[in-house]
Structure 1
Amino acid sequence: MAEAHQAVGFRPSLTSDGAEVELSAPVLQEIYLSGLRSWKRHLSRFWNDFLTGVFPASPLSWLFLFSAIQLAWFLQLDPSLGLMEKIKELLPDWGGQHHGLRGVLAAALFASCLWGALIFTLHVALRLLLSYHGWLLEPHGAMSSPTKTWLALVRIFSGRHPMLFSYQRSLPRQPVPSVQDTVRKYLESVRPVLSDEDFDWTAVLAQEFLRLQASLLQWYLRLKSWWASNYVSDWWEEFVYLRSRNPLMVNSNYYMMAARAGNAVHALLLYRHRLNRQEIPPTLLMGMRPLCSAQYEKIFNTTRIPGVQKDYIRHLHDSQHVAVFHRGRFFRVGTHSRNSLLSPRALEQQFQRILDDPSPACPHEEHLAALTAAPRGTWAQVRTSLKTQAAEALEAVEGAAFFVSLDAEPAGLTREDPAASLDAYAHALLAGRGHDRWFDKSFTLIVFSNGKLGLSVEHSWADCPISGHMWEFTLATECFQLGYSTDGHCKGHPDPTLPQPQRLQWDLPDQIHSSISLALRGAKILSENVDCHVFPFSLFGKSFIRRCHLSSDSFIQIALQLAHFRDPQCLALFRVAVDKHQALLKAAMSGQGVDRHLFALYIVSRFLHLQSPFLTQVHSEQWQLSTSQIPVQQMHLFDVHHYPDYVSSGGGFGPADDHGYGVSYIFMGDDMVTFHISSKKSSTKTDSHRLGQHIEDALLDVASLFQAGQHFKRRFRGSGKENSRHRCGFLSRQTGASKASMTSTDF
């Protein structure tokens, strides 16, 4: 729930007595609009499904059904029980000379209606099947008879070779948990971190909330859940992200690192092509249960537009250029020629032209992008003037497929100081220099002067697994499909007929010069206040945790708690904590989590001007440790044992609290975990490097609880070295970098 603390822009006035509240027009209007947006998405997907094949059926199945009906009719059988005769009577007579044609049309119409009814039945059956969550609650490695039956039925009704959005109309609605269960789970979760006095007071507030306000707020959420497909997602997007007036830099963006670069732009555009054609398979839990794919729609051609009160997301159907920033100058680079994608060599040629361009930046152009790192209200007001004075240049940036920053400085892992270089690399991706990223874009591809690269991603349009999936595809495609020639260039030949990249001209009015300076000053302060730390832990990884018969994610999460509080745990308590984390995780996966439900109840209370001390206290709590795992979703694309240089080392995000930490981690194969830690330098309570050492100690302490892991700690201490990352194997992995294709050499 840490991200919900950003929802500070939503502050309607409160009534002193909120217990007796009538039906509120504003909240009903919001529920109506939520449903309208949801149904519009459903209709657009229905048309897309109709064009590309109605899953799990296909146009071929309609042809088979029509042929069967025609054959039965030829054999003087009527499978329609007289319906086709009635259809024939409704068709025009055409003078009686096209009687056979009328029969064919009647059969086609009947086949279409029957086919549609069968597809609708399949969708309803699949939706009912996917509503079953019993498989989540079963012990690891065990499967009950009902779950086996469920798996078999899902396999039957799911069809074969699904496309990205094939399951969207069959996914069940997000259930609204019981408010009593949510409050109980919340009190359970805060009990260990509150004093007896504070917990008793919180429990009193919770009981008062259940007695006075809970039923009314829950009624509105249930109404919304029946009208819209998800009772929380659009409000989460709006009030957590779009209504937040905080700068996007550090607060809303996160970064991702890579092992290679070069053909990255071409590979990203290939991914977009596959996305448009729905050739990306949907994510399936256990290889069977589909997850929602809606967030994939806004990866490309998307910009978060600032507003005075709230932002909005602008998504274009297509864009055939990227916006490029280099040494304070902006360029528009076309990505297509005669409706076909430019080759990697042609794109390299365009980037090289920008690198070779000696023209200087215009006054204030160099720092213009710092406005996207300013408070959102300030940027919205300045953007109004900018849109009037430099509409064409602004549209070229905001209408681009994505933003590319060609940094003039090197970054990435170095042999001389691996720890410090990784920390600087992470900081450069998360914040940069405050004026060399267009933070409003869905993502920025950052290419450093030595060929290293990474992503800076704006958070509101999607969560990390979506951009992570795209990045995995990009790395694998660049490495194993596109490749490089022997002289270090992208394969292929330059295209001398291509026009030069278009230099964008900004006619900046005098009144915004001071705004740019203020924005740059604020961005530098925010950037300098972020303490980033990245370290790979290579003593053990997933394979050891599996031998302990534990969930790898729960293992790391509990170790992070140990690192944060340094409370020694015994093995029995550790197993209890892991089991509890697994139970909470499974509850969240089945729609029974605490934070989103409490957040939605809080939003409804605000719409109703209903004062709830309990919800206000929940919303105002400070979460000092915000954690996230970056999943590796496409293991088939990489061989981490033979090609470790090509595996992404994950990414990170800023802390959710001024006195807290942001920690992300990624399992790199079976024997390494890489951690990304961030905190605020202005805090006297946090230190990213100190927490990194505590995480390392905690992992070794936890491993030593298991007989199979006791040798790790002995080996670590026996080495006489204070920090194991100075002897990690990745330091010896080096690959050549090209001079023109900007190839990276990380990990």
Structure 2
Amino acid sequence: MAEAHSAVAFSFAITHDGWDVNFDREVLYLVWESGVRSWKKRLARFRNNVLNGVYPGHLQSLYVLWTLLVAAHFSNFNIPFGLVDKMITIMPSNSTWAQVVACFLVALTMWFIVIFLMRYLLKLLLMYKGWMYESRGPGAKISLKTKLWVSVVKVLSGWNKPKLYSFQGSLPRLPLPAVEDTMNRYLLSVRPLLDDDNYKRVEKLAVEFKTKIAVKLQRYLILKSWWSSNYVSDWWEEYVYLKGRSPLMVNSNFYGTDAILLRPTQIQAARAGVIIHLCLKFRRLIDSQELEPIMLQNMVPLCSWQYERLFNTVRAPGIETDKLVHYQDSSHIVVYHKGKYFKVLVYLRGRLLKPAEIQVQIQQILDDKSEPAIGEEKLAALTAGERTHWAQIRQTMFNRGHNRTSLHCIERAAFTVSLDDMEYGYDETDPKKLDEFGHVLLHGKGYDRWFDKSFNLCFSTNGFVGFNAEHSWADAPVMGHLWEYVIWSELEIGYQPDGNTKGTIVTNPPAPIRLQWELNKEEILSAIDISYSVAHKLLNDVDLRILMYTKYGKGFMKKCRVSPDAFIQLILQLSYYRDASRFCLTYEASMTRLFREGRTETVRSCTIESTEWVRAMENPNSSIEERMALFIKASNRHQLGYQDAMAGRGIDRHLFCLYVVAKYLELESPFLQEVFNEPWRLSTSQTPYGQTSLLDLKKYPKCVSAGGGFGPVADDGYGVSYIIVGEDTIFFHVSSKKSCPITSSTNFVKQIEKSLHDVQTLFNDYNKLKKTNKPITD
């Protein structure tokens, strides 16, 4: 057995005949190789840290300045303030070399001063957010202030190619809003949801909060905003994610789907070989920082902090709170197939294995006919159940022997892979197949995904692929960036005509190593059954529908001159009202990565303007002009709310931090209780698309990912994820709970389709009205 072979790689004993030393050269070579690779990464990381520390400057500019000073000094040119001569006076000698060193020290001082001023100027410039509020597109008028700002930013950040973390030191901190501003925005956001009496009650609570304890709480937040890189992110990660005790599966983890219109190969092992290889190449780009940061408008950088934990990361369960554990390096992945776990080494003699070599390893796992150990098949159900239960059994039953070694192997892996033993994917003749695809990726069987890992790759027997990602380490755009890179690069690599990977195998890759377990104890088996029971009940309660809408997309929305996101959010407001006959508090995730270590902010999409438009759409007596005017007004209001959230002027993260401080100080606030008792019955998120310039739909029109989704947030609500791809395609992922009698994902999807049609009709009728100048009756 390979694992037994590894166990005796080195042995030492003293006998009557002397010393007896046995070692396996191949295994020791692997150890040496791993150490060399680790040190290379450390040196590269040190070099990159130096380059990032002086960005937007460059080390070459230091060498140029030093050369100029040396030339000027020895040519007897007058150097300002006599800096070189003053430096020479404190040197131990007046030799030529001492004068060269003095020139270097002066150059270094001058260079550091310039670098500091450039970095500080860039930071000040990036604090300006006025550009976000100015209209863009053909014919848009841009203020002189923004034009000057654009010019200076491009000069500072455009002359030196940035690395992944180059802008981290220049990104501004997330601003702390004033309590007065947050209160006003909050009251405005809840006005359409409350009748007059309830609104007056909440308004009174807000005034009491603002005039009493809010001042004290705000002082603590001011201190935290000065001291920490981001006054929200660490508390958000801890209290919203890591302290959560409910299952990760469905409740927290999210999923992403394949490019469903492409069928590059139907061979499971070949697809796995290519996708795994590309994921590891992306990791190498992160480690070397060759991956360029995402830039809005090709000039404004987004924070890259979240990329650090994309690989080699696990959410380790705790009794009261979980912990994110990130390993600096990992030379293996872990693969699950038919109830068995395998460790797969992905490096050979210092190089990353090629897709063809990884295909061989995957095929060896698929061909393995051995049976799972007792309890091994459903072991991962522990990661799908209650967190405290998993933490307790982990501390007592996985702290020694094979269990500890194998668990450590899984948690330290770059990522995990599930080779599923069933077909799933997209079938244009059967829309339900897409729903099944989403179910498989969201929760699988409840025991075939290691939900603690940063992400799991899932491969079907017919070649489709998707992922399931843990949420606490980062937000969906980071996984989206990885997925765009993988999908595009796969097209570039391609496959052989028979569907296998390209390339030849010179040396046999390392064989997969079967992980060993000791799970035949009643306590472990009982714990697995308890977690599986929780997971099974949870996954069976998920009502998930995926809508592929192809009648129009971004192209039509552009013609309407409306923000595509605002367009979709108004569609969702109309759909929910038609489904539930009421309005609800609506959550839309917006990023705050324009600031250092920023994550998300909430856009409250249900506004006074959106409710007025919805009522007009449902009122048969309202005119085309009235409906259109209200639609434009509502979309502009939504766009303003989204811009405020991105610019650090949101509502909910500020209220969240005030609530945390109040809990620490043991202060009770009826107002904060009111805020956090409100359920988000409609939780929405747009899957980012086209974050990089990699994907070219004109060249590859079928390279369309269906995006991804998540489970419902409220027991009586919907979780809606959407992605606008191309000019004529929109995907909606709608989830709810079957146990709730008043929600139905199927019905909500029908309402979305109807709303999309009605809004298209509204715009078409309005355009006809403008051309004819004649009234049109409904």
Following superposition, the deviation at residue 635 of structure 1 comes to 5.8
1:534 maps to 2:546: yes
Q: Which amino acid aligns with 1:192?
A: P
Q: 1:645 aligns with which of 702, 705, 723?
A: 702
Following superposition, the deviation at residue 309 of structure 1 comes to 1.0
Change beyond 3 A, Cα 1:510–1:709: farther
1:668 maps to 2:729: no
Q: Decide which moves more: 461-470 or 645-654.
A: 645-654
Whole-Å Cα distance in 1 between the matches of residues 163 and 715 of structure 2?
Answer: 42
SS at match of 1:462: coil
Following superposition, the deviation at residue 421 of structure 1 comes to 0.6
SS at match of 1:664: strand
Q: 1:392 aligns with which of 397, 402, 405?
A: 405
Q: In structure 2, what is the equivalent of residue 725 of structure 1? A: none
Whole-Å Cα distance in 2 between the matches of residues 70 and 83 of structure 1?
Answer: 12
Q: Which amino acid aligns with 1:174?
A: L
Q: Which amino acid aligns with 1:92?
A: P
Whole-Å Cα distance in 1 between the matches of residues 664 and 691 of structure 2?
Answer: 42
Whole-Å Cα distance in 2 between the matches of residues 57 and 134 of structure 1?
Answer: 26
Q: 1:107 aligns with which of 97, 100, 103?
A: 103
Change beyond 3 A, Cα 1:528–1:274: same
Following superposition, the deviation at residue 84 of structure 1 comes to 3.1
- 1:273-352 equivalence runs, <5 A: 273-352=284-363
SS at match of 1:491: coil
Q: Decide which moves more: 567-576 or 282-291.
A: 567-576
Q: In structure 2, what is the equivalent of residue 206 of structure 1? A: 206
Q: Deviations over 1:681-735 (max 9, x none)?
A: 1111111111011011111112222127889xxxxxxxxxxxxxxxxxxxxxxxx
1:430 maps to 2:442: yes
Q: In structure 1, what is the equivalent of residue 588 of structure 2? A: none
Q: Deviations over 1:194-238 (max 9, x none)?
A: 222221111111000001011111111111111112110111111
Q: In structure 2, what is the equivalent of residue 681 of structure 1? A: 738
SS at match of 1:387: coil
- 1:148-547 equivalence runs, <5 A: 148-160=147-159, 161-259=161-259, 261-262=271-272, 263-384=274-395, 385-389=397-401, 390-417=403-430, 419-480=431-492, 482-494=493-505, 497-508=508-519, 509-547=521-559
In the alignment, is the contact (CA less than 8 A) between 2:294 and 2:692 conserved in 1? no
User: Structure 2-normalised TM-score?
Assistant: 0.83
Whole-Å Cα distance in 2 between the matches of residues 671 and 533 of structure 1?
Answer: 20
Whole-Å Cα distance in 2 between the matches of residues 618 and 45 of structure 1?
Answer: 44
SS at match of 2:453: coil
In the alignment, is the contact (CA less than 8 A) between 1:258 and 1:452 conserved in 2? yes
Change beyond 3 A, Cα 1:78–1:49: farther
Whole-Å Cα distance in 1 between the matches of residues 69 and 312 of structure 2?
Answer: 46
SS at match of 1:646: coil
Following superposition, the deviation at residue 639 of structure 1 comes to 3.0
Q: In structure 1, what is the equivalent of residue 72 of structure 2? A: 72
In the alignment, is the contact (CA less than 8 A) between 1:641 and 1:669 conserved in 2? no
In the alignment, is the contact (CA less than 8 A) between 1:256 and 1:455 conserved in 2? yes
Taking every aligned residue pair, what percent have the same amino acid on both sides?
45
Q: Deviations over 1:277-305 (max 9, x none)?
A: 11221111221111111111111111111
Whole-Å Cα distance in 2 between the matches of residues 634 and 378 of structure 1?
Answer: 39
Whole-Å Cα distance in 2 between the matches of residues 710 and 373 of structure 1?
Answer: 52
SS at match of 2:205: helix
Q: 1:565 aligns with which of 577, 600, 616?
A: 577
Q: Deviations over 1:322-366 (max 9, x none)?
A: 010000000000111111000000000000000000001011100
1:134 maps to 2:145: no
Q: Deviations over 1:564-609 (max 9, x none)?
A: 0124432222111111100100101110001111111111111111
Following superposition, the deviation at residue 489 of structure 1 comes to 0.8
Whole-Å Cα distance in 2 between the matches of residues 664 and 644 of structure 1?
Answer: 22
Q: In structure 1, what is the equivalent of residue 14 of structure 2? A: none
Q: In structure 1, what is the equivalent of residue 656 of structure 2? A: 599
> Alignment RMSD, CA only?
1.8
In the alignment, is the contact (CA less than 8 A) between 2:418 and 2:449 conserved in 1? yes
Q: Which amino acid aligns with 2:685?
A: S
Q: In structure 2, what is the equivalent of residue 706 of structure 1? A: 763
Whole-Å Cα distance in 1 between the matches of residues 231 and 696 of structure 2?
Answer: 40
Q: In structure 1, what is the equivalent of residue 681 of structure 2? A: 624
In the alignment, is the contact (CA less than 8 A) between 1:414 and 1:421 conserved in 2? yes
Q: Which amino acid aligns with 1:692?
A: V
SS at match of 2:81: coil
Whole-Å Cα distance in 1 between the matches of residues 52 and 642 of structure 2?
Answer: 36
In the alignment, is the contact (CA less than 8 A) between 1:80 and 1:110 conserved in 2? no
Whole-Å Cα distance in 2 between the matches of residues 710 and 534 of structure 1?
Answer: 31
Following superposition, the deviation at residue 667 of structure 1 comes to 1.0
In the alignment, is the contact (CA less than 8 A) between 1:53 and 1:59 conserved in 2? no
State how many pairs are aligned: 662
Q: Which is bigger in relative contact order (C-alpha 8 A, separation at least 6)? A: 1
In the alignment, is the contact (CA less than 8 A) between 2:164 and 2:292 conserved in 1? yes
Whole-Å Cα distance in 1 between the matches of residues 91 and 444 of structure 2?
Answer: 68
- 1:41-80 equivalence runs, <5 A: 48-51=48-51, 54-79=54-79
Whole-Å Cα distance in 1 between the matches of residues 427 and 729 of structure 2?
Answer: 19
User: Structure 1-normalised TM-score?
Assistant: 0.86
